[in-house]
Structure 1
Amino acid sequence: MQVTVTTLSDQIFTLDVSEDLELENFKALCEFEIGIPAKEIAFVWNGRPLHDDKRTLKSYGISNGDMVLLQHMRGSQGQGQTTSQQPAASPGVPQIDFGSINIPGAQGGGASAQPGPSGRPQAPDDPRFIRELLLNSPHELALLKERNPPLAEALLSGNVEKFEEVFRQQQKERMEKERDRIRLINADPFDPGVQKQIAEEIRMKNVESNMESAIEYAPESFGQVVMLYIDCTVNGHHVKAFVDSGAQMTIMSQACAERCGIMRLVDHRWAGVAKGVGTQRIIGRVHLGQIQIGKDFLQSSFSILEDQPMDMLLGLDMLKRHQCSIDLKRNMLVIGTTGTETRFLNESELPEHARLNFNQPMSPKSQEQDDRMLAEAMKKSQDEAGKPGTSGAKPSNQNSSASSSGQNPSASNSYPEEIIQRLMSNGFSRDNVIRELNASNGNADQALAALFAKSFQLP
């Protein structure tokens, strides 16, 4: 019969075996296939661990076409060992758990518990512990804002209960997703519903692979693109105009028109609605006005919009009338009718509403509010720790954003299985856990913060 074996790292292979094959011999075949010692292999079938190495596959109920999950249990001395085979404790000798002793200064030893505000040790998956890690890592906090806005908003609110609620909910959803994946592995592969889920899994893996390739070979595609603005003058008033060759007409905001003193020229008979990404009401039109760009005075018409964030937008009507060219190589706007060249503004020279953060506008008021919320949250965290200027989570001097491509892949073998499983218990895949441990040089606390920061918002 054929038995399919899958691992937590998504390795899949099929073995032709006899139904009378004992489990220990089945482990030996798997050792030959993937190189993991047989004594460190454990199997799970239909959610049930297989312990007795002397039992046959048939006695466990495994039949042709079934799939079993192989787990690598590092440091294990065989799963088939029964209680009676364990070395008995000497009478009168206390059983001491040396694994619970924390060694000061140990690097990469694991996500050790940190003392909480009440003096109790905090578990590595404690929301308060995660909160302190993120608050003490500006880089991870920036990633969290980008990839998981709900959790970032709860973190910056300063409300610990709100953060715990969002944290627990997302952790639950990740765990359910991982359980669904395990059920999918053990389900009938020919079921239409399973086929649909398998297709979605394959699609998402292709998406992740595509994103990893983009990060590796085209990292500039994740950068921020500065929009094209130029300096100009309208009726003696300085205006920063947005050059948009995709706009049909040149527009101006009502506030800018009032500031430039041309509202008296607005023809309200041309009122209407402007449609694009959204809709805005057009108050009217200024049929002829002058725009000074450099030493040139150019004629243009303006449609006045009631609620427009940018002062002025130079549309295709004006650009074509004066035969303008957008020279991105030299970062210049060339006016064809006069030969005048004017440079596009740098990011620091842009108006506030044009300084975008991943396509989300950030006004000065909201930026100030965001900074204030972050300062209050950090202060509250420090007060809870009882040590001003410090917190329970010690920030690492190493940059957690270091790419795992520069790390030695064999380094994953040096991480204790207990640490990997503990990080995976938060709903993260084994590959992601090992990748972040490599990036943080084995610092489990730092890897845990990076995993949460890089977790995408769940639907």
Structure 2
Amino acid sequence: MKITVMTADEQILTLDVDPNESVENVKALLEVETSVPLQKQQLLFNGKEVRNPEKLSALGVKDDDLLMMVSGGGGAAAASSGSANDLSFNPDGSAVNPSAFQQHIRRDSNMMGQLFQSDPELAQAILGNDLNRLQEILRLRHRQKDEYRRQKEEELALLYADPFDVEAQKKIEAAIRQKGIDENWEAALEHNPEAFARVVMLYVDMEVMVSH
């Protein structure tokens, strides 16, 4: 069967392996492909670290499944010991416990896949070993969201100044919808870090009455 492995530097590798192959042998193949020593590899499947003696078939790995390879570090066990406060954010947007936050996100392969699509720079920092860089990017994203929110609030105020203009009303409707999306995103970051990078698109049915 064929499996796909995504590495920390965004390499996408396709390996042809036997379903009964051990994780250790898969790591040996990856060592040849990536030059990362077997001992320093950490393989994740469905958000959980897989161990060397385990066989792919026993783990439920099937044809065309995705695994992620990150550099070994604190490991998934270290992340699971963190408290809820360890996964929260400071007022400047940085993580209270960047190591716990990093390991928590690393363990969710679906979340990492979304991050690589939506914010590859942040995904790289999460998979890397520089926690200062991770904190810098989190602060930058926080500042960018604050600036974006301020701009939208200013635009909304200007639009409300002429509420009977048809084009203004369309923009008001779009701005309200976007504001709901942004608030949902902020709430997810603050209260549900496990939902990080998953934005629920909110839509409001609205009928605009125009007076002439």
TM-score bucket of the superposed structures, by smaller chain: 0.3 to 0.5
Normalising by structure 2, we get a TM-score of 0.45
Q: Which has the higher helix share?
A: 2
Q: Give the number of the structure whose alpha-carbon radius of gyration is greater.
A: 1
